[in-house]
Structure 1
Amino acid sequence: MKTLTGSLLAVFILSLLSQPALAQDGETALVPLPSVVDFTKGDDGWAFGLGLGVEYESAYEGSDEFGFEVQPAGAVQWRRGDDIFFWAGEALGWRGLRADTWLFEAAVSFDEGREESDSDDGRLDGLGNSDEGLELVLQARRAFDADWRYWLDGRVVTGENGNLGIFGVGRRFGEQYDGTGSELSIVTVFHDSEYANKDFGVDAVQSAASGLNETDLSGGFRSIGLHYNYRKYINENWQVFGEALYERYGSDIEDSPIARNNYEGEVGVGFIYVF
C-alpha cells in the first residue's frame, strides 16, 4: 500500500512541476482530455502513434502481488470532422463529438481473461483459466461547457462474461486544447453476478481443486476509484504519458477468498512517437 501510494503521489507531483506543453498552434484534439487519445492534430485523414509503456500493477483482480509489465502503446486513427475511427491494441471502435459538449464512443475489445500462472505465489492454483471473450464498450461523456474543464462519464461494458457499468465525474487541468495536460476523475463501478463471479467467484469444482471456500457473488456495487491521466508533447512528434489508478473494492468482493487485497492499483509511464 505504501509503495502504491508513493507512486501515485510521485506521478501527481511530477505533473504539477511540469512546464506547459509546447505550443500546438492550430492543433485541436477532438476533445482536450488527455484520456481520450487523439493523434490527428486537428486534421482529417490518417494518424498514427507508436510507442511503449511500463506499468507497475496488480498481477490480477484482487491480487496482493505486484509487478512490472512492458506493453505497446499507440493507435491507428482515421478522422473526418468530429468523428474518429480507431484501432488501439485489442480494441476497434469509433468516437464522435456532438454539440461541442457530448462525446460518444463505441468499441469492440478483447478480454484476455485470467490464467492460473498470473500468480507467481500459486494463489490461483486449482481455479483454472477464466474464459476469454469479446466485449462491447459503449460510452458517453457530457462536458459542463465547451472547454471540457468538468465532465460526467457513463460507460457500459457487455459481453460473453457479463456486464459492467462505470459512472464518473472528472476535472481537466491545463489550458491546452491539443489533448495534453492532465485530468483526475472519480468513478463508481457496478457489475452483474456473472461478471462478479468471473473475477471473484469460486464454484464447487474450483473449491475442491483449490481448497478455497465456495463463493457465489450477486450483482451490485463493485468499487469506487480514482483515475489520473497525464500527457505532454516533448517536441513536435514525441509524447510522454502517465497514468495512475486506485480502485477500492466493496465489502462483497473483500469477502471473496480470491481477493487478497481490498484494492487494485496501477501506475504507468511511457513514450509515443506521433507520425
Structure 2
Amino acid sequence: MKTFTSITATMLVILPASVFAQDEAEDTFAGHDIFFTVSGGVVSAPSFLGSGETSVYALPNISVAIGDRLNVSLLDGVSYDVYKDDNLTAGALLTYDFGREDTPSDHGLLLSNVAKSEIAGLGDIEETAEIGGYIEYSYGNIQASLSVRKGVDGGHDGVVGDVGVSYNATVEIFGKQSVISFGPTATFSDDSCASTFFDVSTAQSAASGISEYDADGGFMSYGLHASAYVPVNQNVALVGFAAFDHLTGDVGESSIVQERGAEEQVTAGLVLNDTF
C-alpha cells in the first residue's frame, strides 16, 4: 500500500543514488564503491490514501548505494539486484509501509493543517514490514517494471504490487544535462490488504459515521507519474516530481473514499539530494 513516503522515495530519492553508483561502479561491491545520498525537501500529498485533503509534509531521507546492485534507504527500505544485464534486472526487496493514523494531523512530518476528524473512529493501522521482489526491463529509453510485496509483520499481512512503464530522456534544464521520466502506473492488492485499509466494520462505522464496507482486492489505482532530475553540481541535484492516481475497483468504491475522501489523488514535491 503506497503512502506518499514510498511513492516519493521510489521516484526520486533512491534513483539519483543509483545513477551515481552506476556511473562509477563496474560490478557489485567492485572496489567497495559506496555512495551516500542525504535528501531534504517538501511534498504535497493526500493525508492518507483515499483522502480528499491535501497536506504538505517534510521529506527527509538518507540512502546508500553499494556497488551497482544494493540500495538502502530510510524511507524505501532495502533492494538488491540479484540478476542484472544490459536490459533485464530482477531482485529482492524489504520495504516498510508507514500505516495510517485515524487522526492525520498527528503525522510527525506534517507542515500544514489537516482536518482532524476526517477518519477519526476508524482506528490506527500499524506500520508493516514487507518483503518481495521486482523485475525491470529496459529497451532504449523505455523501462517497464513490476514489484510485488507481502506484509509479514505489522498492520497488514496481504500482498500489494505496482506495475508501470516509463519513458526516460536526457534534456537540458537550466543549462544542465538532466533526466526526465514519465509514464503510466498502476497498483494492485489482494483481499487482505484492501480490507485492512478500506473496510469499515460495524464498530468502526458507529465510531466514525462512515458507512460499513467490505473491500475486495484487485487493481486499486492507475495513473501517471513524472519526475525531473537536475544536477546542480557534481554531487548535488534537484529533483521534482508529480503523480496523479485514480482509485478504482473496490478501493475506489469504498465508503471511506466516497464519503470522506476522493478518487483522484495528487502528489507533488521538490527534493534536494547531496550524494558523496
- Normalised to the residue count of structure 2, the TM-score between the two structures is 0.78
Give, in whole Å, the separation in 1 of the partners of 2:182 and 2:234.
Answer: 25
Indicate whether 1:173 and 2:169 are aligned: yes
Query: Is 1:51 equivalent to 2:39 in the alignment?
Result: yes
> What SS does structure 2 have at the residue aligned with 1:116?
coil
User: How many angstroms does 1:175 deviate by?
Assistant: 6.6
Q: Per-residue displacement from partner, 1:99-152 (whole Å, max 9, x unpaired)?
A: 2001223221221210012153211111110122101131111112xxx41122
Structure holding more helix per residue? 2
Cα deviation code 1:49-74 (max 9, x no counterpart): 11202101111011111111111134
Compute the RMSD of aligned alpha carbons: 2.1
Residue 62, structure 1, aligned to residue 15, structure 2? no
Identity percentage of aligned residues: 24
Q: 5+ residue gaps in structure 1? A: 1-33
Amino acid of the structure 2 residue aligned with 1:50? V
For residues 11-69 of structure 1, give each alpha carbon's deviation from its aligned partner in whole angstroms, at most 9, with x where no partner exists. xxxxxxxxxxxxxxxxxxxxxxx946413242341111112021011110111111111
The gaps in structure 2 that reach 5 residues or longer are 1-13, 106-113
- Where in structure 2 are the equivalents of 1:137-152 lying within 5 Å? 137-144=132-139, 148-152=140-144
Distance in 1 (alpha carbons) for counterparts of 2:132 and 2:223:
19
Deviations 1:239-268 (A, max 9, x none): 111111111111422321211101211101
Q: Does the CA contact (< 8 Å) of 2:17 and 2:35 recur in 1?
A: no
Residue 77 (structure 1) shift: 1.8
Deviations 1:149-173 (A, max 9, x none): 1122111121142111222222111
Contact 2:142 2:167 in 1 (8 A): yes
- Tell me by how many angstroms 1:76 deviates: 1.3
Give aligned pairs, total.
234
Equivalent residue, structure 2, for 1:42: 24
Q: Paired residue for 2:131, among 136, 157, 178?
A: 136
Determine the structure 1 residue equivalent to 2:72.
87
Q: Which moved more, 1:231-240 or 1:157-166?
A: 157-166
In 1: Cα distance, 2:83 partner to 2:54 partner: 37
In 2, Cα distance between equivalents of 1:169 and 1:159? 25
Matching residue of 1:194: 192
User: What is the correspondence of 1:1-275 to structure 2 with a 5 Å cutoff?
Assistant: 35=15, 37-38=17-18, 39-40=20-21, 41-43=23-25, 44=30, 45-79=33-67, 83-90=68-75, 91-95=77-81, 98-118=84-104, 120-121=114-115, 122-144=117-139, 148-160=140-152, 161=156, 162-174=158-170, 180-259=178-257, 260-275=261-276
4+ long deviations beyond 2 Å: 34-37, 95-99, 251-255
* Distance across 1 between alignment mates of 2:184 and 2:91: 19
SS in 1 for 2:81: strand
Number of the residue aligned with 1:14: none
* Aligned residue type for 2:131: L
Q: Report how far residue 180 of structure 1 moved.
A: 4.8
Aligned twin of 1:19: none
- Write the letter of the residue equivalent to 1:265: V
